[in-house]
């Protein structure tokens, strides 16, 4: 008996056997399941902050999508200590929603002389309102070819029942004692507020973001 006979009875997708799947599953109302929908692109130009606020400048950040994705593309800091930061707004005029976070990073230099995998206790937050770093230490390289790129996911920001989870992965070119290195910082946390999150602000804790783009996408529900 061929080994594939009866396999469709064993392997299922959403409780449907393989033989029943003749087309790619689609989201309610059409479109591919989990498809990205571009909402807004902001371009930095010696910018201290870049803000996405629901209902402003065509920005959607509400219950339209259950997940929102931010893409950071070649964000260049004006100073070596200017790592990217994030802050959230929960309906007021300020980006000061309470949050708790954790962060760690990996690194490897061009000289193949140093590696790192470390939890960064000094940068995590516990029920804090200030901006949270998406990178670590003072490692961002402000040379002409240095930049920061990565993503951040924000889950169900419109919920008034659950905390609002977020997580990021940002890769950046660092430098220590003149030796360039590749570094990636991983940050996760949640906004512990009952109100919906309706705004996200990306900034830097030193200087400006000279250049680069930040793109906002909504991810369709399945």
- Asked if 165 and 184 sit in the same domain, the reply is yes
- Asked if 1 and 88 sit in the same domain, the reply is no
- Asked if 13 and 94 sit in the same domain, the reply is no
Q: Is 48 helix (H, G, I), strand (E, B) or coil?
A: coil
Give the model's confidence band at 138: pLDDT under 50 very low, under 70 low, under 90 confident, else very high.
low
- Asked if 109 and 159 sit in the same domain, the reply is yes
65-79, 98-112, 125-139, 140-154: lowest mean pLDDT where? Answer: 140-154
Domain housing 126: 34-219
- Give every CB contact of residue 168 below 8 A, 6+ residues apart in sequence: 86, 134, 150, 151, 152, 153, 185, 186, 187, 188
- Asked if 112 and 208 sit in the same domain, the reply is yes
- Asked if 52 and 7 sit in the same domain, the reply is no
**CATH at residue 156:** 2.60.120
- Asked if 39 and 22 sit in the same domain, the reply is no
Question: Which pLDDT does position 99 carry in this prediction?
Answer: 97
Question: Which pLDDT does position 215 carry in this prediction?
Answer: 98
Total of domains in the chain: 2
Core vs surface per residue 3-38: b (16+ CB within 10 A) or e = eeeeeeeeeeeeeeeeeeeeeeeeeeeeeeeeeeee
- Asked if 55 and 130 sit in the same domain, the reply is yes
8 Å CB contact between 132 and 206: no
43, 73, 139, 183, 212 from 144: Cα distances, Å: 18, 15, 15, 17, 12
* Mean pLDDT, residues 143-153 taken together: 85
* Mean pLDDT, residues 213-220 taken together: 97
- Asked if 9 and 39 sit in the same domain, the reply is no
Residue 6, Cα to own-chain centre: how many angstroms?
A: 42
- Asked if 9 and 116 sit in the same domain, the reply is no
Rounded-to-integer distance, Cα 19 and Cα 195, Å: 45
Give the model's confidence band at 12: pLDDT under 50 very low, under 70 low, under 90 confident, else very high.
very low
Tell me which H or E stretch contains 101.
strand 99-109
User: DSSP states of 103-167 as a string?
Assistant: EEEEEEETTS--EEEEE-GGG--SSB-S-EESS-TT-B--STT--EEEEEEEE-TT-SSS-EEEE
- Asked if 41 and 131 sit in the same domain, the reply is yes
- Asked if 57 and 39 sit in the same domain, the reply is yes
* Mean pLDDT, residues 119-144 taken together: 82
């Amino acid at each position: 008996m061929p080994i594939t006979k009866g396999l469709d009875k064993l392997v299922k997708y959403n409780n449907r056997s393989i033989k029943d799947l003749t087309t790619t599953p689609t989201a309610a109302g059409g479109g591919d399941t989990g498809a990205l929908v571009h909402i807004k692109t902001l371009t930095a130009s010696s910018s201290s902050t870049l803000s996405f606020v629901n209902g402003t400048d065509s920005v959607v950040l509400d219950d339209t999508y259950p997940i929102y994705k931010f893409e950071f593309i070649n964000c260049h800091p004006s100073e070596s200590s200017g790592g990217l930061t994030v802050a959230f707004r929960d309906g007021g005029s300020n980006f000061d929603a309470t949050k708790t976070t954790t962060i760690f990073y990996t690194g490897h230099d061009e000289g193949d002389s140093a590696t790192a995998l470390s939890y960064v206790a000094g940068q995590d937050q516990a029920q804090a309102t200030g901006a949270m770093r998406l990178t670590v230490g003072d490692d961002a390289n402000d040379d002409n070819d240095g930049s920061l790129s990565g993503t951040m996911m924000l889950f169900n920001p419109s919920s008034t029942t659950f905390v609002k989870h977020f997580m990021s992965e940002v890769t950046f070119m660092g430098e220590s004692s003149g030796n360039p290195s590749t570094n990636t910082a991983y940050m996760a946390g949640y906004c512990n507020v009952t109100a919906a999150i309706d705004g996200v602000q990306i900034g830097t804790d030193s200087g400006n973001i000279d250049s680069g783009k930040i793109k906002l996408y909504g991810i369709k529900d399945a």
